[in-house]
Amino acid sequence: MRHSEDPAIREIPVADGEAGPYGIVTGPDDALWLTFVHSGRIARLTLGGELEEHPLDSPTCRPTVITVGPDGALWFARSQDHRIGRITVDGEAESFRVPTPGSGPFGITAGPDDAMWFTQMNTDRIGRVTGDGEVTEFALPVEGAFPSAITAGPDGALWFTLNRANAIGRITTGGDVVLHPLPTPDAAPVGITSDGAALWFVEIAAGQIGRISTDGRIEEFPLPDRTARPHAIVAASAGDCWFTEWGAGRIGHITVSGEITEYDLPSPSSEPHGIALGPDGALWAALETGGVARVAP
């Protein structure tokens, strides 16, 4: 369904069209932290609109997903130079090399074990990195799977999408892996989030939102526009998720019963990627064309 009474939506420019805002998260300092995937920078945006940019040591490192670590720093994947980055709220950055060459880290999340967990798109592995940079890698029982986003589940395990293997994976902190194939062929899952009870994910090629319980039961909910290319998803509370529609320039909302509402962004070709719950209770999305969108429910 479409919604006629849109919430207050505004777009805020944060970069030129070449920088590519991509990942977004609320930091422990109540500011929004963004990755600029094309210019190799991390940006900090306050609710008052103040923007601070931190250039990384490689402008071509392609920072993607960013999240908060248990140490109060921001952690992010560097997909092009195969490193995991860390930046403090004061702007001090460092990075750690992933041992497997050409790994292509993409998704990253804080685990229940005080370490960060990340996906390796190119090498079919899930990685774990400690606060001092010690990396452990776990091989997945599948080839060419393109593991993408990852999140900590409500069951003490890590859950991730396998974009090309058309499955959702679960890995324990000890490295035990189970894969759950999706009912829809070639759905190409990308973003995944936990709402505290179950996991929600997007199917970018099928135009659907999926929900998987911790025992592996999967439900799929088709979007009104199957060509919308949903990309990232975040839970505001149990059964209350928001997602970006990268191909359609929209922000979507889904309830636990599968009721879907969509909101058009002011710029239809803004390419929304990452989405986060802001410190102000609004939803914030990174727009690859150079801005952020704020959606007040």
CB 222 within 8 A of CB 207: yes
Q: What is the model's pLDDT at position 5?
A: 54
CB 150 within 8 A of CB 127: no
Q: Model-level pTM?
A: 0.97
Q: What is the mean pLDDT of residues 248-256?
A: 97
Half-sphere exposure of 19 (CA within 13 A, CB side): 21
Provide the token pair at 140: 């997945």
Residues annotated within a binding site for substrate: 231
Q: Which residue has the tokens 């992010």?
A: 76
65 has pLDDT over 90: yes
Q: What is the mean pLDDT of residues 32-38?
A: 98
For the domain bounded by 8-296, which CATH number is listed? 2.130.10.10
Can you give the length of the chain in residues? 297
Sheet containing strand 260-264, edge to edge, reads 230-237, 240-245, 250-255, 260-264
Q: What is the model's pLDDT at position 2?
A: 54
Task: Give the model's confidence band at 7: pLDDT under 50 very low, under 70 low, under 90 confident, else very high.
Answer: confident
CB 180 within 8 A of CB 168: yes
78 has pLDDT over 60: yes
Domain positions in the chain: 8-296
Q: What is the model's pLDDT at position 6?
A: 65
Provide the token pair at 70: 């248990």
100 has pLDDT over 70: yes
Number of C-beta neighbours around residue 103 at 10 A:
25
Q: What is the mean pLDDT of residues 288-295?
A: 96
Task: For residues 38 and 171, give the distance between their C-alpha atoms in angstroms, rounded to a whole number.
Answer: 31
Q: Buried b vs exposed e over 214-251: b needs ≥16 C-beta within 10 Å?
A: beeebebbebebeebbbbbbbbeeebebbbbbbbbbbb
Q: What is the mean pLDDT of residues 13-38?
A: 96
4 has pLDDT over 80: no
Provide the token pair at 141: 């029982």
Q: Which residue has the tokens 């990253």?
A: 108
Task: For residues 63 and 66, give the distance between their C-alpha atoms in angstroms, rounded to a whole number.
Answer: 8
Number of C-beta neighbours around residue 185 at 10 A:
9
* 159-168, 212-221, 263-272: the lowest-pLDDT one: 263-272
Q: What is the mean pLDDT of residues 101-109?
A: 98
Task: For residues 67 and 108, give the distance between their C-alpha atoms in angstroms, rounded to a whole number.
Answer: 7
Task: For residues 173 and 288, give the distance between their C-alpha atoms in angstroms, rounded to a whole number.
Answer: 33
Q: CA-based angle 204:207:213, to the nearest 5?
A: 80
What is the set of active-site residues?
Answer: 273
Alpha-carbon distances, residue 83 vs 28, 73, 104, 202 (angstroms): 23, 16, 8, 26
